[in-house]
Amino acid sequence: MVGRDISQYYALEPRKNGKVVLKVERLRTPQHPEHALSFEVKSGEIVGVAGLVGAGRTEMLQTLFGVTPSLGGEMEVSGQAVRVTSPRQAIYHGLALVPEDRKQQGLILEMAVRENLSLASLKRDQNVGFLNRDREEEISHAMVDDMKIKTPSDLQEVQYLSGGNQQKVVLGKWLAMQPGVLLLDEPTRGIDVGAKQDIYKLMEKLAEAGVAILFVSSEMEEIIGMSDRAIVMHEGMLAGELMREQLTEESIMQLATGSLDS
Protein backbone atom coordinates (compact mmCIF):
# COMPACT_ATOMS: atom_id res chain seq x y z
CA MET A 1 0.00 0.00 0.00
CA VAL A 2 2.97 2.32 0.50
CA GLY A 3 5.22 0.83 -2.17
CA ARG A 4 7.41 -1.34 0.05
CA ASP A 5 8.33 -4.98 -0.40
CA ILE A 6 7.17 -6.83 2.71
CA SER A 7 9.06 -10.05 1.94
CA GLN A 8 12.07 -8.62 3.79
CA TYR A 9 10.05 -8.67 7.02
CA TYR A 10 9.47 -12.41 7.07
CA ALA A 11 11.63 -14.58 9.32
CA LEU A 12 14.26 -16.43 7.32
CA GLU A 13 15.70 -18.64 10.05
CA PRO A 14 13.81 -21.74 11.23
CA ARG A 15 12.44 -21.56 14.76
CA LYS A 16 12.98 -24.16 17.45
CA ASN A 17 9.75 -25.84 18.55
CA GLY A 18 8.98 -27.34 21.91
CA LYS A 19 6.31 -29.71 23.15
CA VAL A 20 2.83 -29.98 21.69
CA VAL A 21 0.64 -27.28 23.23
CA LEU A 22 -2.53 -27.68 21.18
CA LYS A 23 -3.66 -31.13 20.04
CA VAL A 24 -6.91 -31.54 18.14
CA GLU A 25 -8.35 -34.92 17.22
CA ARG A 26 -11.42 -35.61 15.07
CA LEU A 27 -12.90 -32.14 15.55
CA ARG A 28 -16.16 -31.69 13.67
CA THR A 29 -17.66 -28.26 13.08
CA PRO A 30 -21.34 -27.43 12.46
CA GLN A 31 -20.46 -25.99 9.04
CA HIS A 32 -18.75 -29.17 7.83
CA PRO A 33 -19.94 -32.01 10.09
CA GLU A 34 -18.91 -34.67 7.59
CA HIS A 35 -15.20 -33.97 8.06
CA ALA A 36 -13.08 -34.66 11.15
CA LEU A 37 -10.07 -32.39 11.70
CA SER A 38 -6.91 -33.56 13.45
CA PHE A 39 -3.71 -31.56 13.88
CA GLU A 40 -1.34 -30.17 16.51
CA VAL A 41 0.66 -27.02 17.21
CA LYS A 42 3.86 -26.98 19.26
CA SER A 43 5.25 -24.43 21.65
CA GLY A 44 7.12 -21.76 19.69
CA GLU A 45 5.63 -22.86 16.38
CA ILE A 46 3.76 -20.74 13.85
CA VAL A 47 1.34 -22.87 11.84
CA GLY A 48 -0.43 -21.29 8.89
CA VAL A 49 -3.90 -22.32 7.74
CA ALA A 50 -4.35 -21.90 4.00
CA GLY A 51 -7.33 -22.51 1.76
CA LEU A 52 -9.85 -20.82 -0.50
CA VAL A 53 -12.81 -18.78 0.72
CA GLY A 54 -15.40 -21.17 2.13
CA ALA A 55 -12.87 -23.86 2.98
CA GLY A 56 -13.85 -23.75 6.67
CA ARG A 57 -10.81 -22.03 8.14
CA THR A 58 -12.64 -19.35 10.14
CA GLU A 59 -15.23 -21.87 11.29
CA MET A 60 -12.48 -24.12 12.62
CA LEU A 61 -10.95 -21.31 14.70
CA GLN A 62 -14.35 -20.29 16.02
CA THR A 63 -15.09 -23.86 17.07
CA LEU A 64 -11.72 -24.18 18.81
CA PHE A 65 -12.49 -20.99 20.73
CA GLY A 66 -16.03 -22.02 21.67
CA VAL A 67 -17.82 -19.39 19.58
CA THR A 68 -19.66 -22.21 17.86
CA PRO A 69 -20.09 -25.63 19.50
CA SER A 70 -18.23 -28.62 18.13
CA LEU A 71 -20.16 -31.68 17.03
CA GLY A 72 -17.48 -34.04 18.27
CA GLY A 73 -13.80 -34.53 18.76
CA GLU A 74 -11.21 -34.00 21.47
CA MET A 75 -8.80 -31.22 22.32
CA GLU A 76 -5.77 -31.09 24.58
CA VAL A 77 -3.95 -28.00 25.79
CA SER A 78 -0.48 -28.57 27.23
CA GLY A 79 -1.22 -32.27 27.59
CA GLN A 80 -4.50 -31.79 29.44
CA ALA A 81 -7.81 -32.82 27.91
CA VAL A 82 -10.14 -29.82 27.82
CA ARG A 83 -13.72 -29.21 26.83
CA VAL A 84 -14.42 -25.81 25.32
CA THR A 85 -18.05 -24.85 24.82
CA SER A 86 -17.70 -21.07 25.23
CA PRO A 87 -15.08 -18.34 24.78
CA ARG A 88 -14.90 -18.01 28.57
CA GLN A 89 -13.79 -21.63 28.85
CA ALA A 90 -11.30 -21.13 26.01
CA ILE A 91 -9.77 -18.14 27.80
CA TYR A 92 -9.58 -20.16 31.03
CA HIS A 93 -7.56 -22.83 29.23
CA GLY A 94 -5.15 -20.28 27.75
CA LEU A 95 -6.58 -19.76 24.26
CA ALA A 96 -7.06 -16.38 22.58
CA LEU A 97 -8.76 -15.56 19.27
CA VAL A 98 -8.15 -12.46 17.15
CA PRO A 99 -11.19 -12.52 14.82
CA GLU A 100 -11.31 -11.72 11.14
CA ASP A 101 -13.62 -8.72 11.56
CA ARG A 102 -12.00 -6.53 14.20
CA LYS A 103 -14.71 -3.84 14.13
CA GLN A 104 -17.65 -6.19 14.59
CA GLN A 105 -16.07 -8.92 16.73
CA GLY A 106 -12.86 -7.59 18.25
CA LEU A 107 -13.52 -4.06 19.46
CA ILE A 108 -16.09 -1.79 21.03
CA LEU A 109 -15.46 1.20 18.80
CA GLU A 110 -17.10 3.82 21.02
CA MET A 111 -14.91 2.85 23.99
CA ALA A 112 -11.40 4.09 24.70
CA VAL A 113 -8.21 2.29 23.80
CA ARG A 114 -7.63 1.64 27.51
CA GLU A 115 -11.06 0.08 28.01
CA ASN A 116 -10.71 -2.13 24.94
CA LEU A 117 -7.27 -3.33 26.04
CA SER A 118 -8.66 -4.44 29.41
CA LEU A 119 -11.81 -6.16 28.13
CA ALA A 120 -10.45 -9.72 28.17
CA SER A 121 -8.87 -9.34 31.62
CA LEU A 122 -11.82 -7.75 33.45
CA LYS A 123 -12.68 -10.89 35.38
CA ARG A 124 -9.06 -11.57 36.30
CA ASP A 125 -8.30 -8.04 37.47
CA GLN A 126 -11.49 -7.17 39.31
CA ASN A 127 -11.36 -6.20 42.96
CA VAL A 128 -14.33 -7.61 44.92
CA GLY A 129 -16.52 -7.27 41.85
CA PHE A 130 -15.29 -3.78 40.95
CA LEU A 131 -12.95 -2.79 38.16
CA ASN A 132 -9.39 -2.24 39.33
CA ARG A 133 -8.71 1.09 37.64
CA ASP A 134 -5.04 1.17 38.59
CA ARG A 135 -4.49 -2.28 37.08
CA GLU A 136 -6.43 -1.30 33.95
CA GLU A 137 -4.23 1.77 33.48
CA GLU A 138 -1.07 -0.28 34.07
CA ILE A 139 -2.05 -2.88 31.46
CA SER A 140 -3.07 -0.21 28.96
CA HIS A 141 0.17 1.75 29.18
CA ALA A 142 2.23 -1.43 28.90
CA MET A 143 0.32 -2.66 25.84
CA VAL A 144 0.40 0.72 24.07
CA ASP A 145 4.17 0.74 24.47
CA ASP A 146 4.77 -2.93 23.63
CA MET A 147 2.42 -2.95 20.65
CA LYS A 148 3.58 0.46 19.36
CA ILE A 149 -0.02 1.65 19.20
CA LYS A 150 -0.11 5.12 17.71
CA THR A 151 -2.70 7.10 19.65
CA PRO A 152 -2.65 10.57 21.24
CA SER A 153 -3.77 8.94 24.48
CA ASP A 154 -5.05 5.60 25.71
CA LEU A 155 -8.26 7.48 26.51
CA GLN A 156 -8.86 8.06 22.79
CA GLU A 157 -11.90 6.26 21.37
CA VAL A 158 -10.61 3.32 19.35
CA GLN A 159 -12.86 4.17 16.37
CA TYR A 160 -10.56 7.10 15.55
CA LEU A 161 -7.43 4.97 15.18
CA SER A 162 -6.12 3.65 11.87
CA GLY A 163 -6.95 0.08 10.89
CA GLY A 164 -3.48 -1.11 11.79
CA ASN A 165 -3.61 0.45 15.23
CA GLN A 166 -7.09 -0.93 15.84
CA GLN A 167 -5.71 -4.39 15.04
CA LYS A 168 -2.89 -3.85 17.52
CA VAL A 169 -5.47 -3.01 20.19
CA VAL A 170 -7.26 -6.31 19.49
CA LEU A 171 -3.97 -8.19 19.79
CA GLY A 172 -2.98 -6.29 22.91
CA LYS A 173 -6.27 -7.13 24.58
CA TRP A 174 -5.44 -10.82 24.33
CA LEU A 175 -1.71 -10.59 24.96
CA ALA A 176 -2.49 -8.99 28.32
CA MET A 177 -3.87 -12.43 29.24
CA GLN A 178 -0.57 -14.14 28.32
CA PRO A 179 -2.20 -16.95 26.29
CA GLY A 180 -0.46 -20.24 25.56
CA VAL A 181 -2.29 -20.64 22.24
CA LEU A 182 -2.94 -17.69 19.93
CA LEU A 183 -5.51 -18.10 17.15
CA LEU A 184 -5.26 -15.41 14.47
CA ASP A 185 -7.86 -15.01 11.71
CA GLU A 186 -6.53 -12.82 8.87
CA PRO A 187 -4.33 -10.81 11.27
CA THR A 188 -3.05 -8.33 8.66
CA ARG A 189 -6.14 -7.82 6.51
CA GLY A 190 -6.82 -4.21 5.63
CA ILE A 191 -3.78 -2.67 7.28
CA ASP A 192 -0.75 -0.90 5.84
CA VAL A 193 2.68 -2.40 5.32
CA GLY A 194 4.19 -0.74 8.37
CA ALA A 195 1.54 -2.23 10.67
CA LYS A 196 1.99 -5.59 8.98
CA GLN A 197 5.69 -5.49 9.76
CA ASP A 198 4.92 -4.79 13.42
CA ILE A 199 2.52 -7.73 13.60
CA TYR A 200 5.00 -10.10 11.94
CA LYS A 201 7.65 -9.09 14.45
CA LEU A 202 5.18 -9.59 17.27
CA MET A 203 4.28 -13.08 16.02
CA GLU A 204 7.96 -14.00 15.91
CA LYS A 205 8.53 -12.57 19.40
CA LEU A 206 5.62 -14.54 20.81
CA ALA A 207 6.81 -17.74 19.13
CA GLU A 208 10.26 -17.22 20.60
CA ALA A 209 8.59 -16.89 24.02
CA GLY A 210 6.92 -20.29 23.52
CA VAL A 211 3.42 -19.31 22.40
CA ALA A 212 1.79 -21.73 19.95
CA ILE A 213 0.35 -19.74 17.03
CA LEU A 214 -2.27 -20.94 14.55
CA PHE A 215 -3.08 -18.32 11.93
CA VAL A 216 -5.42 -18.11 8.97
CA SER A 217 -4.40 -15.99 6.01
CA SER A 218 -5.65 -15.60 2.46
CA GLU A 219 -2.35 -14.02 1.43
CA MET A 220 -0.20 -16.74 -0.07
CA GLU A 221 3.09 -14.93 0.53
CA GLU A 222 2.16 -14.49 4.18
CA ILE A 223 1.55 -18.21 4.66
CA ILE A 224 4.83 -19.02 2.90
CA GLY A 225 6.80 -16.31 4.66
CA MET A 226 5.58 -16.73 8.24
CA SER A 227 4.77 -20.43 8.67
CA ASP A 228 7.03 -23.08 10.14
CA ARG A 229 4.43 -25.46 8.78
CA ALA A 230 1.06 -25.05 7.07
CA ILE A 231 -2.13 -27.04 6.97
CA VAL A 232 -4.32 -26.59 3.91
CA MET A 233 -8.10 -26.87 3.96
CA HIS A 234 -10.43 -27.78 1.11
CA GLU A 235 -14.23 -27.78 1.47
CA GLY A 236 -14.12 -28.32 5.21
CA MET A 237 -11.44 -30.99 5.37
CA LEU A 238 -7.72 -30.94 5.94
CA ALA A 239 -6.37 -31.60 2.48
CA GLY A 240 -2.74 -31.84 3.55
CA GLU A 241 0.17 -30.51 5.53
CA LEU A 242 3.28 -28.80 4.17
CA MET A 243 6.58 -28.26 5.96
CA ARG A 244 8.40 -24.96 5.57
CA GLU A 245 10.67 -26.23 2.80
CA GLN A 246 7.63 -27.53 0.88
CA LEU A 247 5.71 -24.26 0.94
CA THR A 248 5.19 -22.87 -2.55
CA GLU A 249 2.20 -21.27 -4.22
CA GLU A 250 1.82 -24.32 -6.43
CA SER A 251 1.89 -26.85 -3.58
CA ILE A 252 -0.63 -24.85 -1.55
CA MET A 253 -3.02 -24.36 -4.48
CA GLN A 254 -2.93 -28.04 -5.41
CA LEU A 255 -4.20 -28.92 -1.95
CA ALA A 256 -6.56 -25.94 -1.62
CA THR A 257 -8.33 -26.76 -4.89
CA GLY A 258 -8.39 -30.51 -4.39
CA SER A 259 -6.25 -31.00 -7.49
CA LEU A 260 -4.32 -33.88 -5.92
CA ASP A 261 -7.55 -35.86 -5.57
CA SER A 262 -8.53 -35.54 -9.20
The string of pLDDT tens digits covering residues 26-69 is 999 999 999 999 999 999 999 999 999 999 999 999 999 999 99
Give the integer Cα–Cα distance in Å for 198 and 168: 9
Residue 51 near residue 57, CB atoms below 8 Å: yes
- Residue 195's region, left for phi above 0, alpha for psi from -120 to 50, else beta, is alpha
Domain limits, the chain: 17-94+179-262, 107-178
CATH number of 17-94+179-262: 3.40.50.300
* Sequence-separated (6 or more) residues with CB below 8 Å from residue 126: 132
pLDDT in tens, 157-186: 999 999 999 999 999 999 989 999 999 999
Give me the amino acid identity at 23: K
Predicted pLDDT of residue 127:
60
pLDDT at res. 29: 96
Written as one letter, the residue type at 59 is E
Distances, alpha carbon 244 to alpha carbons 8, 151, 223, in Å: 17, 37, 10
Mapping DSSP to helix (H, G, I), strand (E, B) and coil, where does residue 20 land? strand
CA distance 74 to 145: 38
Instruction: Please tell me the predicted confidence (pLDDT) of residue 9.
Output: 62
> Tell me, what DSSP letter sits at residue 8?
G
Q: Is the dihedral of CA 9, 196, 171, 70 positive or negative?
A: negative
Residue 16 binned pLDDT confidence (cut-offs 50, 70, 90) = confident
pLDDT band, very low/low/confident/very high, at 125 (cuts 50, 70, 90): low
The phi and psi torsions of 6 (rounded to 5 degrees) equal -85, -5
Helix intervals (H) in 2-96: 57-64, 87-92
Name which of 246, 238, 193, 197 is nearest 214 in CA terms: 238
